[in-house]
Amino acid sequence: MKPAPFEYVRPSSVAEAVATLEAHGGMARVLAGGQSLVPMLGMRLMRPSAVVDINGLDAELGQIEARGAETTIGALVRYSEAEASPVIAERLPLLRTAIRYIGDRQVRNRGTLCGAVAQSDPTGEVALVALTLGATVVAQGPGGVRELAADGFFVGSYANALAPEEMITGLRFGVVPARGAFFERGRKHNDFALLSLAVAATPEPDGSWRDVRVGMGGINDTPVLARAAAARLEGQRWDEAALAEAAQLALEDADPPEDVRASAEYRAHLLPIHLRRLLLSLVEEPRHG
């Protein structure tokens, strides 16, 4: 057994889970899918005083809810469930596409989308899509429910705006642009991304595009929006020159890390090439996700 000792707590409600997090003064961690937390316990990168296993709270946290224009994914929804969900396929095809790049079948059978948001891995696919599509993180803490925009939620590598005694209860999406596409390049299949990109936009009858979103992962210490690139494309027809310029502008919002997987230079090299191609794919075929 490799983890440091911890108290194992199985709450019977979200309120009880939050009370436990509060009682441990921020030293407890929530266990949902455990696909990131359990390895980190084993490596002793985390030594929580308690592990709060929320897997029994399926009635409160296990649903994908479509209400009006909004789609809310509960904290216990596994990747495999979202992957197979007709609601996700219809409303959030970009998210569905991105999920296929996450882990492998076994990991997707256990891992949760909200867990990925809480983990705030700079290369995380769910975090990138949530940011790109302007999702809202719903959290509960001792003070009640808080809603946090994904834009601003990710504050650093594996760091986010949650308070230590808060837990995520859901991830909510509103209306999303009509078209979206996702790209990821890693050293090998299922590895952390060197670069991941999510783009979304709605074509107008006159050939221009509105509501343009460009998100980038693996290129900063958090997923980031390529705001300059999106602004260049908003309301415009996407001709070759516009796409090429937008692809270069994306570098303004990138500060690529240098690590064992790739040099900063290589990441910066990949970014405009693949962003241009991905944007072009939105123009060329009406693909969804």
Partner 1 sequence: MDELATEELVEITVTVNGTVHRERVSPRMHAADFLRQRLGLTGTHIGCEQGVCGMCTVLLDGEAVKGCLLLAPQLDGRELRTVESLAQGGELAPLQQAFKDCGGLQCGFCTPGFLMTATALRESGRRLDREQIREELSGVLCRCTGYDGILTAVDRVLNGEQR
Q: With CB under 8 A as the contact rule, which of the stretches 103-111, 156-164, 219-227, 250-258 interacts with partner 1? A: 103-111
Out of 49, 55, 63, 248, which residue is the one contacting partner 1 (CB under 8 A)?
A: 55
**Interaction of residue 211 with partner 1, rule CB under 8 A:** no
Out of 20, 35, 123, 136, which residue is the one contacting partner 1 (CB under 8 A)?
A: 35
Report the residue number, 22 or 53, with the smaller CB distance to partner 1: 53
Q: With CB under 8 A as the contact rule, which of the stretches 33-41, 199-207, 238-246, 249-257 interacts with partner 1? A: 33-41
CA distance 91 to 87: 6
**Interaction of residue 202 with partner 1, rule CB under 8 A:** no
Report the residue number, 184 or 253, with the smaller CB distance to partner 1: 184
Side chain identity at residue 177, one-letter code:
P
**Interaction of residue 89 with partner 1, rule CB under 8 A:** no
Q: How far is the CB of 8 from partner 1 (least distance, A)?
A: 3
- Please name the helix (run of DSSP H) or strand (run of DSSP E) that holds residue 30, with its range, or none: strand 28-31
Q: Please give the C-alpha separations between residue 129 and each of 5, 43, 103, 116, in angstroms, as whole numbers.
A: 35, 28, 16, 11
DSSP code of 250?
A: G
**Interaction of residue 12 with partner 1, rule CB under 8 A:** no
Out of 43, 69, 87, 149, which residue is the one contacting partner 1 (CB under 8 A)?
A: 43
Out of 12, 13, 106, 263, which residue is the one contacting partner 1 (CB under 8 A)?
A: 106
Report the residue number, 35 or 123, with the smaller CB distance to partner 1: 35
**Interaction of residue 39 with partner 1, rule CB under 8 A:** yes
Query: What backbone torsions phi and psi does residue 173 show, to the nearest 5 degrees?
Result: -115, 145
Residue count at the site for partner 1 (CB under 8 A)? 30
**Interaction of residue 189 with partner 1, rule CB under 8 A:** yes
Report the residue number, 60 or 81, with the smaller CB distance to partner 1: 81
Q: How far is the CB of 109 from partner 1 (least distance, A)?
A: 5
**Interaction of residue 8 with partner 1, rule CB under 8 A:** yes
**Interaction of residue 185 with partner 1, rule CB under 8 A:** no
CB 78 within 8 A of CB 109: yes
Angle subtended at Cα 17 by Cα 16 and Cα 18, rounded to the nearest 5 degrees: 90
Residue 91 CB partners (closer than 8 Å, separation 6+): 66, 71, 173, 176
**DSSP per-residue letters across 144-183:** EEEEEESTTTEEETTEES--TT-EEEEEEE----SEEEEE
Encoding tokens for residue 280?
A: 């072009």
Sheet of 193-203, strand order: 179-186, 193-203, 209-217, 224-225
**Interaction of residue 208 with partner 1, rule CB under 8 A:** no
Helix 240-249 / helix 264-284 crossing angle, nearest 10 deg = 150
**Contacting residues toward partner 1, per CB under 8 A:** 1-8, 10, 31, 34-35, 38-39, 41-43, 51, 53, 55, 80, 103-107, 109-110, 189-190
